[in-house]
Amino acid sequence: MVRIKPFRGVRPQKEYVDKIASPPYDVVNTEEARELAKDNPLSFLHVVRPEIDLDPSVHIYDERVYQKAKENLEKLIKEGYLVQDGEEYLYVYRQQMGNHIQTGLVACAWADDYFEDRIKKHEFTREDKEKDRIKHVYTTNANTGPVFLTYKAQQDVDSIIEEVTKEAPEYHFTSDDGVIHTFWVIRDKKIIDELKSKFEQIPHVYIADGHHRSASGAKVREWKKKENPNHTGEEEYNYFLAVYFPHNQLQILPYNRAVKDLNGLSKENFLKKVEENFNIEKTGVKSPSKVHEISMYLDGEWYTITPKSHILNDDDPVKSLDVYILQEYLLAPILGIENPRKSERITFVGGIRGTEELEKLVNSGDYAVAFSMYPTTVEQLMNIADAGQVMPPKSTWFEPKLRSGLIVHLLD
């Protein structure tokens, strides 16, 4: 069973929602956040990227950064821009990006579901990023950004949520990136109890995006549990903020790659080595149309490369991924990218930026070759999580991203 919990959300006053709601902390760097928020003191970037309000010499993991986040959150609440609901509710969050629409249930996830693997993972977390999020949650005493979870679509759950969305929304606005955000509050206790009961029948859910947020939410519970001699397990800190989307509504874009050099090889020798494990055809195709097709941009031309049968292993959920095949049979052995997490010779480009960005990088001369990938599917993600395995780094890019600041969960 999966436990979801209603909570007293801290939310923007309606007239300020479009000014407060911001991109999540992990899709903008400090400089981008500073630019986005410079003329907007209400932007939630002042909470999730609080270093923008400190001297640039201050390191992003400095204790002063977390204290500034706490100060900025408390200021938004004190001045009445954010207000806490008087009772515990569930919420519905819909996003529309072009023709794509996804509608999720906003609720609190139970830390024990994380530790006992009813919330399934498909990525390793990085220790420095995990510590950062733990300190942010602990210092602010709040989950300021939701974890993006998915569940195998349940018609009865989706039907309940669809009925909720027929009512007038609490918020409806379009963000700067053109995504339409609509938000409802579920105040009806009967509907809340029904949704809780339905989720108790779901054996597990999956982290789509937000492994560091979920790890921090669960591990802060452990900190607070140790500090509380009267811990019962029902305290608010036992839960963290999440949005649950049905799997068939998600949109995964490709996570593309560009490499700065050919590892000392000439173009001809590079292609010759690639041909040992891949079929190569000069096609002009910029985006692959199916699994096991990769588009490669080299010297102003687009090639389609397809793995030869001897390197395919479709029985293994990880080894069947195109990002794994590219890494193990081209990036590592030919281009010398042994550890893509740490190598400074490779960059990863989210599919939202398109193949034009790959062409731009290579045409500039700063990069030698780029690879346009077919997106990993939600089913592949779930198969890997079910097998207890992890994806290679930078395997998925979910769009649209969940806005931060639409709702906050306080830990007491």
Distance CA 195, CA 188 (A): 11
Whether the CB-CB separation of 52 and 46 falls below 8 Å is answered with yes
Q: How confident is the model at residue 312 (pLDDT cuts 50, 70, 90)?
A: very high
What are the boundaries of each domain within the chain? 4-250+399-410, 255-374
At residue 56, φ and ψ (nearest 5 deg) are -55, -20
Q: Which of 314, 306, 301, 274 is nearest to 374 (CA)?
A: 306
Other CB atoms within 10 Å distance of the CB of residue 370: 24
Distance CA 297, CA 287 (A): 10
First to last CA, the chain: 25
SS3 state of residue 256 = strand
Whether pTM exceeds 0.85: yes
pLDDT at residue 361 tops 90: yes
Judge contact between 131 and 213, C-beta under 8 A. Answer: no
Kindly report the CATH class assigned to 255-374: alpha beta
Give the contacts of 54 (CB within 8 A, at least 6 positions apart).
Answer: 62, 64, 65, 68
Q: Please state, rounded to an integer, the average pLDDT across all residues of the chain.
A: 96
Q: What is the mean pLDDT of residues 110-119?
A: 97
Instruction: Determine how β-strand 397-398 pairs with β-strand 252-253.
Output: antiparallel
Instruction: Please work out, in degrees rounded to the nearest 5, the angle formed at the alpha carbon of residue 239 by the alpha carbons of 137 and 403.
Output: 60
- For 89-102, the pLDDT digits (tens) are 999 999 999 999 99
Judged against a pLDDT cut of 90, whether residue 279 lies above it is answered with: yes
- Each residue of 326-357: pLDDT tens digit? 999 999 999 999 999 889 999 999 877 889 99
Say yes or no to pLDDT of 30 above 90: yes
